Amino acid sequence: MTDAAAGQSWVSRLLSRKAGWMLVRNTVVSCGVFAFDLALLWALVQFLGMDKVLAAALAFIAANTIHYSFGRTWIFRGTERGVASGYAYFLINAGVGLVITIGLFAAMLRWTPINYLVARTLVSVVAGLAVFLLNAILNFRRL
């Protein structure tokens, strides 16, 4: 967190232009890695016959590893966090996202007739925003 951010309220930092542009960059990257995630999920289920929930978890982890490299160099540029520790925190935050994603995904598959790819898309919005905030505030300390 910068010295200027230290004096600002949480609300003003989250509603700032800086946060908005980071969210825009994050959304661009997220859409790309999410497309990869869905393609991998589809391939694991269709070609390997893998369990849908297990396949969703594996695809999620692969996509988040790619997301970290973009997060470090473009989304949260200027971070002073070390590469190794940043990756460790990113994976912890991704773990939070994974719990949200898989929990909501499994619930939607069990209690709704929604197609598994549509369900995965819907839960990604909630998980994605949570992980963005964790990374922006706690990991890369850019808000």
Model confidence pLDDT, tens digit, residues 41-75? 999 999 999 999 999 889 988 988 899 999 999 99
Q: Is pLDDT at 113 greater than 50 in this prediction?
A: yes
Token duo for residue 40: 């991998």
Q: What is the DSSP string of 62-117?
A: HHHHHHHHHIIIIITTT--S-HHHHHHHHHHHHHHHHHHHHHHHHHHHHHS---HH
Q: Is the C-alpha dihedral spanning 11, 13, 19, 20 positive or negative? A: positive
- Alpha-carbon distance 91 to 94, whole Å? 5
Q: Is pLDDT at 34 greater than 90 in this prediction?
A: no
Average of per-residue pLDDT values in the chain: 89
- pLDDT at res. 3: 47
For residue 26, give the nearest of 64, 65, 75, 73 by alpha carbon: 75
- Other CB atoms within a 10 A radius of the CB of residue 46 amount to 10
- Other CB atoms within a 10 A radius of the CB of residue 122 amount to 14
* Virtual torsion, Cα 43, 72, 121, 106, nearest 10 deg: 80
pTM exceeds cut of 0.75: no
